[in-house]
Structure 1
Amino acid sequence: MILMLLCLLAPSGAVAQVTPAPTKIIVLGDSLSAGYRLPREGAFTSQLEVALKAKGYDVSVPNTGVSGETTSGGLSRLDWILADKPGLMIVELGANDGLRGIDPARTRENLDTILTKLKEKNVPVVLAGMLAPRNLGSEYGKVFDAIYPELAKKHGVPLYPFFLDGVAMDPKLNLEDGMHPTAEGVAVIVSRILPTVTAALDKIKAGGK
């Protein structure tokens, strides 16, 4: 009876319109993406969402960065993050591994496991690279820096080579600690990583991973 009434009330030939939900972009990251000491609107996630919407992309980019996060920490909370059903994941981890002098083999293993799990769940990924602090020596830097391009190639995911490109070591774009970007520094990061992110979103829209 209810179904009959609905049919009578519905206009002839009417088709229910369902508005698709925005693509959720999750950043598995640390304080660099969380917006350490910045207002909410100054954080990487907020600025990235605004920049993408300005280009016509229907997205939401919640702030899921955790200050002090290492690749081990990111791996440990990955299942919790995946429960949020990301349409695209940006993996931005490794800076704290380098600052703590963690064995690059451990960092590689953690990132490798993260990317493997994301592939198994069919979650598209952008891998944001990091460079080792130069005070740890050339050998450490050589091994650490190679992690990101090698894993990107192994897993077939797009790589943004250095998350802090254009910002690192520039006092005008960093806070007093010399490590965390100001809101202006974040704007530079967003402008530089944006083509990589939009290319990933376009590929998803076209039906690729």
Structure 2
Amino acid sequence: MNKFYIVSGVLITIIILCLSFFRDTTKIVNYPSSGTTIVAFGDSLVEGVGSTKGNDFVSLLSDTTGESIQNLGVSGDTTRDGLARVDEVLNLKPKIVLLLLGGNDYIKKIPKEETFSNLEKIITQIQEEGSIVILLGVRGGVIRDEYKDDYKALAKKTGSAYVPNVLEGLFGRSNLMYDAIHSNDAGYKIIAERVEPVLLELLK
């Protein structure tokens, strides 16, 4: 009998801890937001380099959700560049910001600590204006993904929604990639499909 109560108590404790963890990781700052627009902010993957007109993932998301999305992607941007022009986002008074930066930091060998410090500053400034952030992860490394845990931790710390490595499974596949870094139309469609359910949930 005592053994039964001990086991039951342990199971209940585990369930409570799991539920608490679930609530913590799903609490999104500023949801629901009173902003007026949706903005995609980032580098060439946001801009849509490698896609034909209208087939970048931002345009595809706009088509499938029926929502107008402002594209503020600039090819070559690092988190340093994003931090320098975050006012472009704030001026649009967004309700949701899709944030995709970090890939160029890895290419340009910007220290990882600076990359994620910059991302946190960008997220904080956006959230201070009442907007929701959806953080889109990218791979940091060829052999090993040095960014994976950091993106996840940053999303949890800042209360951002999170889509892990949007390029997962695309690299090295010529039918999905335009070049070594950028997707083609088929690849961007997959990225859009990964982001769409998270975006739709936050539009409710």
Give your verdict on TM over 0.5. Answer: yes
Shift of 1:116: 1.1
Cα distance per residue 1:152-208 (max 9 Å; x no partner)? 110111110112134233221001x22110011111111122111111222xxxxxx
Distance in 2 (CA, whole Å) between partners of 1:165 and 1:195 is: 17
Shift of 1:99: 1.3
- Note if 1:67 corresponds to 2:75: yes
TM-score by length of 2: 0.78
- Note if 1:107 corresponds to 2:115: yes
Shift of 1:24: 2.0
Tell me: higher relative CO, structure 1 or 2? Use CA pairs within 8 A at least 6 residues apart: 2
Secondary structure of 1:87's aligned partner: strand
Residues paired across the two proteins, number: 170
Q: Answer yes or no: is the 8 Å Cα contact 1:46–1:62 preserved in 2.
A: no
Q: What amino acid is aligned across from residue 108 of structure 1 in structure 2?
A: F
Matches within 5 A, 1:135-146: 138=144, 141-142=145-146, 144-146=147-149
Distance in 1 (CA, whole Å) between partners of 2:64 and 2:107 is: 30
Matches within 5 A, 1:16-95: 23-53=36-66, 59-95=67-103
- Note if 1:173 corresponds to 2:173: no
RMSD: 1.7
Q: What amino acid is aligned across from residue 153 of structure 2 in structure 1?
A: E
Distance in 2 (CA, whole Å) between partners of 1:131 and 1:199 is: 25
Secondary structure of 1:116's aligned partner: helix
Distance in 1 (CA, whole Å) between partners of 2:123 and 2:40 is: 13
Q: Which stretch of structure 1 is more off in the superposition, 101-110 or 156-165?
A: 156-165
Matches within 5 A, 1:93-132: 93-132=101-140
2:202 alignment partner, one of 181, 200, 203: 200
Alignment-derived partner of residue 184 in structure 2: 182
Cα distance per residue 1:51-104 (max 9 Å; x no partner)? 112xxxxx2112210000111111111012210121210110001011112100
Secondary structure of 2:73's aligned partner: coil
Runs of 5+ consecutive residues of structure 2 not aligned to the other structure = 1-34
Q: Answer yes or no: is the 8 Å Cα contact 1:173–1:184 preserved in 2.
A: yes
- The structure 1 segments of at least 4 consecutive aligned residues displaced by more than 6 Å after TM superposition are none
Which has more radius of gyration? 1
Over the matched positions of the two proteins, sequence identity in percent amounts to: 33
Alignment-derived partner of residue 205 in structure 1: none
Q: Answer yes or no: is the 8 Å Cα contact 2:138–2:166 preserved in 1.
A: yes
Shift of 1:33: 1.4
Q: Answer yes or no: is the 8 Å Cα contact 2:36–2:93 preserved in 1.
A: no
